Structure 1
């Protein structure tokens, strides 16, 4: 059995999405294929779970483990083999299964195999995320109409306004397909699959294609392809901070709503697709605490302080602008490998004041005297000494500035 599909080295897998304008006959055929996928999925779920209920009933009668009904496999080859055996004799499929492409039934069987696999991994604790329940049958009124084609005639027509799908023929698109057609005609792309989905009162086709000659990247979506994200990453080196700030209750909700992880994923794979590296700043890189003019780092800079004021050189600058200048300098440092604090090429270099590791809160009364510093020592004038104590280290580590 082959494993999960993955792009070859030097290729990119991307997706384009186009709205379709089928006629009445083609729309009926599309709905028939999507319904066939749902019927195959429901059959697979019922066939696998039937053995579960049978074993449970036999166990209640006192039958031994060795004499129970054997488990039915839920792998895709096993489901496909059993479905091909019963489709000509089962009254649920015998009369109409020839009307649709085999890809429609393969879509439902593949979804069922994936659903059972996710359930088994979730129950065993091998799957991340929320707990997955037992796969259930899809009702006719609520199921999403979708069908995926991986073999057969899948073609984008030369006129740029039609696509050809197996057993469905040539279907007109609501929008031009020129972006994908140009790549196919140039020999820099090849269509791998096509998915037809009915949503918001319209059918749409989502085609996955492979482009050779580039570095491998994650699959994308049509509405991101060719947008300003891709063009901006090809001109500069984007810098993505790794910190999340979720410990701060006031910022936690807003940071989570912003979806920085998705932004980083988009920048990373689009940068790889355009041969443009993405620099990721370390979580504890002091971009806001470090002076962008002289390189001296502050020990603390609370969030309510929106203006950065350097105690060494007297620079007064907006906090965010100062952090942006430091990130730009970090990109230059990573490209030249100067050994600056936070440089990707020199992970062994420490940051000023231990900023490369998370700080811990000390409990009162435990090796702290009366709540002061460790060993009972006190620091009456922290601001008077902090700049001078770290100036020498900062000049050695932040020599770029």
Structure 2
């Protein structure tokens, strides 16, 4: 039985702005970058002040733990930063500065030329970056360690900004099927059609919350976030139940090897070919990057060459996303349960350079393998399956990271400890089974994977499991160390984290701060 539920969905459109509109978009992106740096600067200043006061007490003979407890320097958040900016900002519309003004030192006198939400959303992003660092520092955030927040630099960060509006008087709305109205930008033409969004709005099933405008390569995109009332299937359909469970073995030779054909009665669809988007564009990328290396920094030719390199990389990303979305939707809609491995992509693609005492071997080959794995994007496949299975009534099952799926016979359970990556066929000495290595692994995944809980996973920020934040044995998460998939071996030993700074950062919630690693 279908259940109506209110979820957040984003509708992404490619924009076709006019030259005047393009200048406004760039102005908003620059304002958001400036606002983020301004907010982060105030936080960093408070952190430095706290460290100076703690160090002064330590120099006076106060124990370090007691000094940290005594010093309280609050880190400013969005409301305080916004009030402070309103007091000090200038205004270029006035012919002369007000009495007592700081003259040319007044910041952002152009604030009235952009939407106010470009500033407010940047302040929110700065708060989130700071809290992510705090959570990672305290061990409350899953995945790899989050470093100290960094300032954004023009030309080195993504041009993007986010706008909100009053839902009772919407300023962000589609105009027809081919235009999108943005506050202070106007009606921007779309390369795509907004028919799906318009029909949901007309039926009263959707409500626009915000829009994120960003530049990727040579394109500008608008991601319209909406609160949508959808009917989520409570159970798989009859067709999905008949197909049952499919095991998905993600790899490089094949994008995915399945335990049963993707299309019924079509044995060839058991293997999904790997398009190898990056390999197909290698020659063009090499030519464009050589042209970029011959230019002089700051020149117009360098700017043009950089745009060409960015355009090629963006086209590769778009083609990769198209293939992955098509495959994950077919898996989620055609089967009742989709079983995948709990791969640790960050560990699989770790560099093989080693150390000075024990340098890595075959570094160039490992670098090529890392590129091939990242081009296949197994982590993105897992992320998409997490929410699409919930949308279409199917379930996601996850196989334990340490299960030797490739070395285990899918017929009798015998394990081949001598199987290497060069062996592309699996031969069982117990029952005589001879099959493709990836197909054998897919059957094991379908048989031994465990269905995850029914809680919402991917649409929000509280994803319970992903390619980086899955539960790991031996307390590896506490030390911010993942474990790559090693079939038939025990988990690696943990290594205590290195600490480069004994001082800590003030906790905005008044709790005892954790040490800076």
- 1:149-199 superposed Cα distances (whole Å, 9 cap, x missing partner): 122434443521101122222211233223433433344433221011234
Distance change (3 Å), C-alpha of 1:187 and 1:81 = same
Partner of residue 329, structure 2: 230
Q: Which moved more, 1:306-315 or 1:256-265?
A: 306-315
- 1:196-234 superposed Cα distances (whole Å, 9 cap, x missing partner): 123434432122223323459xxxx99569634213311
Match of 2:339 among 233, 236, 239: 239
Unmatched 5+ stretches in structure 1: 1-8, 335-356, 362-401
Deviation at 1:73, TM superposition (A): 2.7
Asked whether the 8 Å contact 1:289–1:297 carries over to 2, the reply is no
Asked whether the 8 Å contact 2:408–2:415 carries over to 1, the reply is no
Partner of residue 148, structure 2: 133
**Superposed, which structure 2 residues align to 1:385-400 within 5 Å?**
none
Match of 2:14 among 19, 26, 46: 19
How many angstroms apart in 2 are the aligned matches of 1:78 and 1:122? 24
Partner of residue 37, structure 1: 32
- 1:128-157 superposed Cα distances (whole Å, 9 cap, x missing partner): 524512543x44454543210122434443
Partner of residue 297, structure 1: 413
Q: Which has the larger radius of gyration?
A: 1
How many angstroms apart in 1 are the aligned matches of 2:147 and 2:382? 27
Deviation at 1:106, TM superposition (A): 0.6
Distance change (3 Å), C-alpha of 1:119 and 1:297 = closer
Deviation at 1:325, TM superposition (A): 4.5
**Superposed, which structure 2 residues align to 1:28-177 within 5 Å?**
28-52=23-47, 71-87=73-89, 92-93=106-107, 95-127=109-141, 128-136=143-151, 138-140=152-154, 142-152=156-166, 153-177=170-194
Distance change (3 Å), C-alpha of 1:198 and 1:326 = closer
How many angstroms apart in 2 are the aligned matches of 1:228 and 1:10? 25
Distance change (3 Å), C-alpha of 1:327 and 1:90 = same
Deviation at 1:90, TM superposition (A): 6.8
Does the residue aligned with 1:10 lie in a helix, a strand or coil? strand
TM-score, normalization by structure 1:
0.63
Does the residue aligned with 1:234 lie in a helix, a strand or coil? helix
Does the residue aligned with 1:73 lie in a helix, a strand or coil? coil
TM-score, normalization by structure 2:
0.51
How many angstroms apart in 1 are the aligned matches of 2:199 and 2:393? 20
Partner of residue 289, structure 2: none
Asked whether the 8 Å contact 2:409–2:415 carries over to 1, the reply is no
Unmatched 5+ stretches in structure 2: 61-66, 91-100, 234-317, 353-361, 452-486, 492-517
State the number of aligned residues.
Answer: 322
